[in-house]
Structure 1
Amino acid sequence: MIGNTQNTFPTGVGTNVGIGTTSPSTRLQVTSATAGTSGVRLTNMTSATAVTAVNGKALSVDASGNIILTPVVNSSSAVTNIYSVDGTLSANRNVTMNSKNLTFSPTAANSQFFINGVSGDIGIGNILPTAKLDVTGSIKSKTLWATNTATSATSFASSLDFLKNSNVFSAGYEMADAGVSGATRRMFNFYDLHAWSSEISANDDLFIMNVIDRSNTERLTFYGHKAGGISNGQSNFIINDKSGAEIFKLGDNGSNSIYLQMGKSDSKFVVGGYGDYGVGHKFVVKDGSALIDGNILTNSNVGIGSNNFTDGTDTYRLSVKGAVRADRVRVYTTWADYVFNKNYHLPSLEDVEQHIKDNGHLKDIPSAKEVEANGIELGEMNKLLLQKIEELTLYMIEMNKEIIKLKSQIKNN
């Protein structure tokens, strides 16, 4: 039998409608005959956004309580933005990049922030990082002192706390700091030890930069005090060996007195060459000349063309192999005025003649053979020559007396 009936809508309080059930518990209850399906299909419904290949629709309720369809993003779709509006993360979130790169590209050129999804390398200002962090451009850092100068000394509970807050920059392998219990340091460290902390006095405000090897040995240190600090604001640059012993130090005592020291006994300074040149010498100038406007002082010997300073039992302060030229030479020695003493024994000319016949040279004067073999002492030789001149003078005086006497005799005859 075919008939027409008009839709009726139950309006009574507590009246429910059931489809597929005779005891609905809500105003409308649909019970499907197939598990996993709702038994409800909506057809010919539209929304403001059309359905596309990568989008589906979600059933939602608008502000008026109407059931509507809204588009949703399918998980397999291509995502071009993270948020369509501002949002706040209420907890930590993990982003799995799946070997994809993440790039933030502001409108300014070369200002990208880039993360390589395979290597994990980060680029700032570039999208081709060659290290874990590759920055194109400058890095600006504000230290604790620049941002927290009002903090009182009591902010630091211990030396460890002070040291940690004074570390402006550290990089490299981390190891224990032997100077402060519980502290660590890395292979490169820069400390700004500010004077407003009670850990150091106001006059000792200083900075320290050091390089440590993996054996925890400090190899290089540079530090400076402000004016009025330790030794009136000194600066020091120090290089240590593998055991931590100082091998080189360049510094000042804070009053314009600069010094360079190499304290090890086997230290050497080479100019114009390398360390293996001039073995055995402490200071070597390989090429060119050395100009010293001040005085040269030594408590030892000086050699020019020679390193031999002994001759028999004598040791000479200056040894020269080659000619010596000078405008003046002054020699301090004894002198021969003893010849004019009344007690001086003046040899007779007959004795002088006999000595020459026997020895081939004047008495007290070295022979040619001795001079060729041993050289002469300038001061001693000048004294001996003067001795002979004074003896000749005495002989001439005596001869003159004899001549005068003979003239007188001749005249009287």
Structure 2
Amino acid sequence: MTLATRLLLTFALLLCSACITARADVSNAPGANLEISLITYGPGDIYWERFGHDAIELRDTVSGEEVDFNYGVFSFEEKNFFLNFARGRMHYLIDAEVTTDEEAFYKQAGRSVTQQRLALTPDQAAALRDFLLWNLRPENATYNYDYYVDNCTTRVRDALDRALGGIIKARLTTLPGGMTYRQQTVRLMSAQPWLMLILDLGLGPYADHPLNAWQESFLPAELQKNLHNITVPDGHGGTQPLIQSENLLSPNRLDAPPATPPDLRIPLAIAGLLIAALLVLAWYRAPLFYALLGDLFLLLAGVCGLLMLALWTLTAHHSAWANANLLLFNPLAFVLLRPLWRAHRRIALSRFAHGVLLLQLSALLIALALHLLPGVVQQNQPWILFALPCWLALARTLRKSPST
């Protein structure tokens, strides 16, 4: 089934949700007959599947009917979808499907499927069911998606926490997380290196704050793992694990993401030194190649700077705000395109271009100083290691006298 077909079926289901829930046994079964499970799906191959997915399964133990509720539906056909995406105003929907149909899609794609049966009381199970059905109504189904704080997993996490009276949040906020938003993003996107680098370059200091286990449960795999730390009353004055059983329904058949994020410092430092060495060597041996390579670097630096500036000032992507990489790559680079091209013919810099170059070098020094200061949050050392040798090589060659 194609993605487009799947999305059309999803919207049809939403339009008919009132009818579906009216007929579904889980919609009116007593809470004592409801079995609640968290279903976790492993990462997929497509970039938007790399973070994984999950759903809440409601099962009527009498009729055997099983329905999955998930918050991960979106449509490329939505009006102004790409404009809204660029502005950070993405609209997602809750969906409900028969469990066997939902799980079959992920099994066929080779993604792992894990079921965790949860220990909810009859009243909690009924309250969760009622909330999910309320949320499924067309007027309540849409929400504004945020990668890190309001996504398909945080919605599942919050729905479970709501049914349990806040037990999950109270416990997980006391436990430290294992990684930052940046580290998790780089780790999970490492199968698409160019996209991983673009995301890492575009993330600001927000992505580097330490997380607790509640915050890190924005990822399905982390929520699956962190629920093992939750205990609930057993009804007899004691406590019991929230997870009553855990079953791997389908193993992963795809390349699994690494357990830790790749260290970008060495490869980016090597790339920066290589470009710097080529620029200096080409200045002496191949002036035209020097001009082409130098202008390509400046063009990319300017474009990246414009995009980062736009993300900060024009969008709701708060994870990209106040990005210190703007000191390394910014629109000042465009001013130096023509002077660098003229430099391969040994034409000296104008006073204005010389001033722009000094301003850029000052910005580079500020970025380096900020990174070395204690208490600085943003971890952009890989990009400093890349940009520093490139800018120094350009400065050395551009400031040479025409007679040299």
Q: Is the TM value for this pair above 0.5?
A: no
- Larger radius of gyration between Structure 1 and Structure 2: 1
TM-score by length of 1: 0.20
Which has the larger share of strand? Answer: 1
Normalised by the length of structure 2, the TM-score is 0.20
Structure with bigger RCO (C-alpha 8 Å, 6+ apart): 2
Q: Whose helix proportion is higher, 1 or 2?
A: 2
